[in-house]
A and B are shown apart, each in its own frame.
Chain A
C-alpha cells in the first residue's frame, strides 16, 4: 500500500486514536463534521449560482435556481455556522467554566435535530422548488399559485426541526452556566446569570464602581456565549412563530380551505420577521464572533484580554443594539415610519460600528501586547477574520443610510461586500481559526498532515472571499440586483471575476478537507461516530 493510501486510511503518523476520545470530544467533532458537510453543500450551491449569474444554463431551470438561492443561506447559516458554533461552544463553555456540560444527551439531540431539519428543508426545496427566499416576505410563502403547499409544508417543517434543536441548545447553555455539578461549590443562579448577561457590569457602571477591581463569576468568553444565546433564543422564537403561521396557511390549503393572505398585514409581518431574523446577522453573529476573538486572543497569547471590562460592556451594548436595529432592512419601505428609519435604521445601527470596532481594537491590542508571536494557522485565520469584519461592517453601515439605501437596496452590494465578506471572511475565518486551535485538543494530539495545504487554504479563502465580495459589490454599484436572473450578460465581466473568486473558495475548501482527512484518516473519521467507554461528563481524557 502506498504511503498516501496508508495515511488516507490511518491518518498522519497514525497519531489520531478515536478510542482515546471522550464522548464530548467525539460529539464536538461530529458537530464539526456535519457543519463542514453542510458548508460544502452551501459552497457548491454558491458556485452553481455564481456560474448561473454569468450566463444562465439549461441544466438549471429558473425556479430551480431560486430554490437553490432559498436553500443556500439557510444551509450555510443553520447547517454550517450553527453546527460549527454550537458544537464548539458545547466544548468551550465547560472548558472555560471548569465543569461538565449540563446534558450530553440534550447536546446530541440538538445536533441531530439540526442535521435532520436542514436535510429536510434542503430536500423539500430541491424536489418541490419551494423558493420564497429566507426573507419570506408576506404573502409569498403562502402563494400557492407559484409553490406547492405540500412541498412548502415539508420545507417549513424542516426549519421547525432546526428551531427545536436550537431551543434545546439554548436550554443546555443556560443550564450549564447555572447548574451545580455533584460535589462542586454551589453556583448562585441569579448572580451567575446577571454576570453572564452583563447586568452586573451595567450596575457597576451606573453606580460608578466600574473602575473598582471585581471578581467576575463568569469568564469573558462564557459571558459572550450567554449573551449571544439570548439572541439565538429570540430568533428561534420569532422564526418558529412565523413558521407556524405559514404552516397554518399550508395546512388550510391542503385541506381545501384557502385562507385570505390579506388577514396578515405585510408591513407588520416584515417588521416582526426582520426583528427576529436580524438577531442572527446583527446579534448573535457579532456577539459570538467578538467572544470567540477574545477567547482565541487569550489562548493564543496566554495573556488576559486588553481592557476586559470594556469588552464586557461592549458585548452588553451590542446585545441591546441588536434588538433595536431591524429597521435598517426597511429603509426603502415608504410606509415605514420615519422615526423608525432614522432611529432604528440609521442611528442605532451606527452603534454596530462602535461595538464591533471595539472588539476589533481590543483583539488587536491583546495580540500586540504579546508580541512576538509565531504566525500559526490559528493566528493567521484570526487576523483574516478580523479583516473580514473590518471590511463588511462599514459596508453595512453605508447601506444603512437613508440616502445610500435608495440606490443600494437589494443590489449585489448588500450580499457582496457586506453579507458574503462578513460570513465567508469574517465569520468563517474566525471559525477556521478555532478549528485549527481546537484540532489537537479535540483529537488528543493528532498532527496536521500538511502545512502547505493549510497555507493554501488560508490564501485561497482570503483572496476568494474578499474578491467575490468585491466583484459582486462592483456589479451592485452598477445596478445589478441580488435576486434577478440576467440573461444578456449585462454584468458579465463582474460575474466572471466573482465566479473565479468563488472557485478559489472551493479550492480552499478542498485543500482544507483533504488536509483534515489525511490528518485523521478515514478510519479515524468514522471512529468519532463509535461509542466510547469514557463518561459523558468528562471533557478531556485525564491522562
Chain B
C-alpha cells in the first residue's frame, strides 16, 4: 500500500538521481568548453526545439504521474464531493491550542483519551481557527509526516484522508503562528486501527 513514506522515498530516489546526472553534465560541460576544438562548434536549432519539447513533456507529465500514482490526490481534488458523508473529526484552534469536542487537548494524550480513527476508509479532518493562521499535520512517532494542511481563520479547512496503516499519530502545527506557537503539538493524539498492517 502506498503511503506518504513510499511517496517520499520515491521522490528522494528520483531527485537524487537527477542531482547526480545534472551535476555530472554541468561538470562535463565545464571541462569540454575549455578544450580546443578542430572544427567550429555548432549547436543545431533542432537541439533547442527538442529541449523545449522535453521540458514541456516533463512539466506536464509530472502532474499526470502524481495524479495517477499518489493515492490521496483524486480524493483531495474532489474533497467536497467525496467527503460529504464520511466520518468527520472536528478540531478548533485558538490561543495556540488544539480543541476537540470542546476540550483542550493536552500536550500528551493518555491512551484512554486518544481519538479513534478507522483505517482503510475515507475520513475527514475539519479544523477551524478562531484567531491565527495555523497548520494541522499528523506525524509518526519517528517524526516523519503523514500529511498536513493550513488552517486559515474564517474559513473551513477540511482534509479527506484514507489511512492505510494502523498507528498512533501526533498532531503538530505545520504553520508558524508566532513564538507562542513554537511547540504547538499534541503527542499521541490519534490512534488509527482496523487495517492489517501497522507503521
Most chain A CB neighbours (cut-off 10 Å) among B62, B177, B180: B62
The residues in B between 55 and 69 inclusive whose CB is less than 8 angstroms from any CB of A are 55-56, 58-60, 62-63, 66-67
- Is A477 engaged at the interface, CB distance under 8 Å to the other chain? yes
Chain B: residues with Cβ within 8 Å of the partner, total of: 77
**Within the assembled complex, what's the spacing in Å between the Cα atoms of A501 and B148?**
29
**Within the assembled complex, what's the spacing in Å between the Cα atoms of A358 and B45?**
12
Cβ contacts under 8 Å, A403 to chain B: 7, 66-67, 70, 72-73, 76
Cβ contacts under 8 Å, B163 to chain A: none
Write the A464-491 contact mask toward B (1 if CB under 8 angstroms, else 0): 0000001001100111110111000011
**Would you call B152 and A479 a contact (CB within 8 A)?**
no
Cβ contacts under 8 Å, B72 to chain A: 403, 406
Q: Closest approach, in angstroms, between the C-beta of B54 and any C-beta of chain A? A: 8
The residues in A between 354 and 376 inclusive whose CB is less than 8 angstroms from any CB of B are 354, 357-358, 361-362, 364-365, 367-375
* Chain B residue nearest to A131 in the complex (CB): B179
**Would you call A354 and B56 a contact (CB within 8 A)?**
yes
* Chain A residue nearest to B96 in the complex (CB): A146
**Would you call B66 and A411 a contact (CB within 8 A)?**
no
* Chain A residue nearest to B5 in the complex (CB): A407
**Within the assembled complex, what's the spacing in Å between the Cα atoms of A306 and B56?**
20
Give the interface SS of chain B, mostly helix, strand, loop or mixed: mixed
* Chain B residue nearest to A265 in the complex (CB): B154
* Chain B residue nearest to A410 in the complex (CB): B174
* Chain B residue nearest to A373 in the complex (CB): B33
Most chain B CB neighbours (cut-off 10 Å) among A364, A383, A387, A481: A481
**Would you call B66 and A140 a contact (CB within 8 A)?**
no
Please tell me which one of the listed residues A342, A351, A372, A383 contacts residue B30 in the complex, with CB atoms under 8 A apart.
A383
Cβ contacts under 8 Å, B107 to chain A: none
**Would you call B152 and A266 a contact (CB within 8 A)?**
yes
- Is A63 engaged at the interface, CB distance under 8 Å to the other chain? yes
**Would you call B174 and A383 a contact (CB within 8 A)?**
no
List the one stretch of A80-88, A332-340, A445-453, A527-535 in contact with chain B. A332-340
**Would you call B159 and A334 a contact (CB within 8 A)?**
yes
* Chain B residue nearest to A335 in the complex (CB): B155
List the one stretch of B84-92, B137-145, B190-198 in contact with chain A. B137-145
**Within the assembled complex, what's the spacing in Å between the Cα atoms of A332 and B77?**
11
Cβ contacts under 8 Å, A63 to chain B: 179
**Would you call A361 and B63 a contact (CB within 8 A)?**
no
Q: Closest approach, in angstroms, between the C-beta of B55 and any C-beta of chain A? A: 4
Chain B residues in the interface with A (C-beta under 8 A): 4, 7-8, 11-12, 15, 18-19, 22-23, 26, 29-30, 32-37, 40-43, 45, 47-48, 51-52, 55-56, 58-60, 62-63, 66-67, 70, 72-73, 76-77, 79, 131-133, 135, 137, 139-140, 142-150, 152-159, 172, 174-180, 182-183
18 A–B pairs (Cβ distance < 8 Å), ordered by A:
A66-B178, A138-B133, A143-B178, A266-B152, A334-B157, A350-B62, A353-B58, A368-B33, A371-B32, A372-B36, A387-B26, A401-B63, A403-B67, A403-B73, A407-B7, A407-B146, A409-B148, A479-B145
Beyond the given A387-B23, A402-B73, please list 7 additional residue pairs across the A-B interface where CB-CB is below 8 A: A333-B149, A334-B157, A346-B63, A351-B59, A361-B48, A484-B176, A484-B182
